[in-house]
Structure 1
Amino acid sequence: MVVWSIANQKGGVGKTTTTITLAGLLNQRSKRVLMVDTDPHGSLTTYLGYDSDDLPCSLFELFQLPTINKATVSPFVLKSDIPGLDIIPAHMSLATLDRVMGNRSGMGLVLKRALAALKDEYDYVLIDCPPILGVMMVNALAASTRILIPVQTEFLAMKGLERMMRTLTIMQRNKPSRFDVTIIPTMYDKRTNASLQTLMDLKSTYSDQVWASAVPIDTKFRDASLKRMPPSFVSPNSRGVFAYKTLLNYLERLA
């Protein structure tokens, strides 16, 4: 089972869009995909049509399980409208997890243990991370073998990336197994100097970790979210989906 976390300590860079688009493309390649929404805002959960205030269960309750195994974790997996594409949803109560349970022993490995219990059920797990460093992001990074970092091609996003890379360096010291990093330039607009310059800076600064291409600005992503479907199901020939197909091919070669 391959586990990817989509993370950045800056919001609005395309984390949820990256998660749902890659998940949809993997599903269309006959892969069994589980998405995990670790953001208290629950954007991914809402995207798939679930009301976070009307959930039968959420990731918050999973973290309170006394015993983690397949039988106890499976009820937290909800189905989407697409067979083979499932989600462990988020609830706003996740925002209190650091305060309520952050000091409990072993809290940083709960998600890793939960996913291990489901390893025979899925080919891929994609974890949509919150934009802050806390228990949820620590859990996501600890559970992953590759970290995908969407970075909007503008100056302030570069500063957010610097913070994220420092976080990963710290995490790596405490993680026995190594994880790899792929930086994904997003919201690219070739008509603007800001996008062009930021893409050049990304490639020069992080040459061995940045994906060589970029995901363009594409209104089809917004259209897909209104229909509660992955973009590749709604607009398979759009330029944004084509970019993510290229990215997925790249990531599968790295795996």
Structure 2
Amino acid sequence: MTVWAICNQKGGVAKTTTVISLASLLAQRGESTLILDLDPHGSLTTYLGYDPDVIETSIYTLFQKLDNTPKDAIFQSLKKTRHDNLFLLPASTAMATLDRQLGAQQGKGLIIRKTLSFFKDRFQHVFIDCPPMLGVLMINALAACDKLLIPVQTEFLSLKGLEHMLHTVSMINHSRHTELPYLIVPTMHDNRTKAANDCLQQLYQQYGKHVWDHVVPVDPSFREASKLGMPLPEMNINAEGSQAYQQLLTELIQPQAKFSHG
């Protein structure tokens, strides 16, 4: 089982789109795939047909009892989706209160890692959709994952969010006692604009070895797929955005995938 966290300390950079696209492509191959929605906004949970405002068992349930979460609560939180081979541990909007509730309790950063240990023989791939703020949920994701993807929109405000994210990765490496391999994925790229192309060049200049060699383009098909509640690769595998994520996935699952450490 490989665990991927998709994370950036800036919203609106296509984190959820990246999760649902990559997970859908693997599920369509017949590979059992699990998605965790750690964002209290619950966009991914909504995308997959559940309501984060009223859901009874969710990731929030797992945090309420910390280390004493019973197995049945863990498995009750697991939801089927209408997509074959794709399962969800959903978000609840109550997750927004976790930092205040948990305070300085010990062990709160390893809840997701311990939860995933129950699924290690069931799923081949796990994708974690992270919130855009540093807190207990992001820390859990970074502690649980094997590899990190950082989507970055090719506009200059996103570069500042990337700096914050890489600082967080540096801090997490100290507690993990091993460096977390990560890959920066340029997203929402509009190659018709000089600003986007200049930003992409700056990404390569500053973080070259960490940056994917290609981009996920701006594609209106993503909005249409979202409206229908379908992953774009399932709605239209030939769409430009689908092809970009297919190329990314092909490279990610190669043994020599371009992942770099700090």
TM-score (ref. length: structure 1): 0.97
The answer for the alignment partner of 1:223 in structure 2 is: 224
Amino acid of the residue matched to residue 42 of structure 1? G
Q: Deviations over 1:198-248 (max 9, x none)?
A: 111111111111100000000111111111111111011000000000000
Q: Deviations over 1:126-148 (max 9, x none)?
A: 00000000000000000001110
The answer for the alignment partner of 1:87 in structure 2 is: 88
Larger CA deviation: 59-68 vs 118-127 = 59-68
Q: Does 1:170 align with 2:171?
A: yes
The answer for the alignment partner of 1:32 in structure 2 is: 32
Q: Deviations over 1:38-64 (max 9, x none)?
A: 011000001111111231311111112
The answer for the alignment partner of 1:74 in structure 2 is: 75
Larger CA deviation: 172-181 vs 220-229 = 172-181
Larger CA deviation: 60-69 vs 86-95 = 60-69
Which SS does the other structure have where 2:127 is aligned?
A: strand
What is the CA-CA distance between 1:68 and the residue it aligns to? 4.3
Question: Matched residues in 1 for 2:147 and 2:214: separation?
Answer: 18
Q: Does 1:153 align with 2:154?
A: yes
Which SS does the other structure have where 2:150 is aligned?
A: strand
Which SS does the other structure have where 1:52 is aligned?
A: coil
The answer for the alignment partner of 2:56 in structure 1 is: 56
The answer for the alignment partner of 1:197 in structure 2 is: 198
The answer for the alignment partner of 1:5 in structure 2 is: 5
Question: Matched residues in 2 for 1:14 and 1:119: separation?
Answer: 27
The answer for the alignment partner of 1:238 in structure 2 is: 239
Structure 1, unpaired ranges of 5+: none
Q: Does 1:248 align with 2:237?
A: no
Which SS does the other structure have where 1:54 is aligned?
A: coil
The answer for the alignment partner of 2:120 in structure 1 is: 119
Question: Matched residues in 2 for 1:156 and 1:76: separation?
Answer: 36
What is the CA-CA distance between 1:91 and the residue it aligns to? 1.1
Larger CA deviation: 227-236 vs 128-137 = 227-236
What is the CA-CA distance between 1:88 and the residue it aligns to? 0.6
What is the CA-CA distance between 1:28 and the residue it aligns to? 1.3
> What is the RMSD of the two structures over their aligned residues, measured on CA atoms?
1.3
Corresponding pairs, count: 255
What is the CA-CA distance between 1:75 and the residue it aligns to? 1.0
Structure 2, unpaired ranges of 5+: none
Amino acid of the residue matched to residue 157 of structure 1? S
What is the CA-CA distance between 1:103 and the residue it aligns to? 1.4
What is the CA-CA distance between 1:69 and the residue it aligns to? 6.2
TM-score (ref. length: structure 2): 0.94
8 Å contact from structure 2 (residues 19, 128) kept in 1: yes
